[in-house]
Amino acid sequence: MALPVRSGDVRPMLSKWDPFREIEDAWTKMGSLLGDVVGGGAPEGRTFSTLANMITPVDIEETDDGFIVEIDLPGVSKSNVTIDLQDNELIVGGVIEERERTGKLRRQARRTGSFEHRIALPGDIDPESVHASLSDGVLTIRCVKQRATHPRRIEIDAA
């Protein structure tokens, strides 16, 4: 009985089939294709694909007085992160640097390179009240809502 072999497979016939490797290869190819279609890649180096940005965990919580945005950024130092505010959109960007390695890298699934997240907040915020902290690989951005102007009736003075 003959065993099926993938076409173009240069691995020896005696190696074991790794289903997780197959899934990882398919995921990598899909991310590459989506990045090419949507526009991945920046001139300064390797970047996260659009697909990777879509799956990066981001939580947005609305409270009575503002918004709390939490983004998972494991292994990123605060000196490599920038946060900009344009109108009601937070733009979080930065670089995840690859660490020094002493051994031979057999598999790389952790992301390196530049990234950008654009987060549209559903309400007006006070630009002076935005504060950010990075702890245990989670970037937390707190934004206070801009005080709403309450309608007020103006009485006419007698002249």
Query: Percent of the chain scored above 70 by pLDDT?
Result: 71
Instruction: Please tell me the CATH code under which domain 58-98+111-149 is placed.
Output: 2.60.40.790
**Token pair 């076409």 in the structure block, residue:** 7
pTM reported for the whole predicted model: 0.60
9-18, 66-75, 95-104 — most confident range: 66-75
Residue-range domain boundaries for the chain: 19-55, 58-98+111-149
pLDDT value for 43: 41
Average pLDDT over residues 114-124: 86
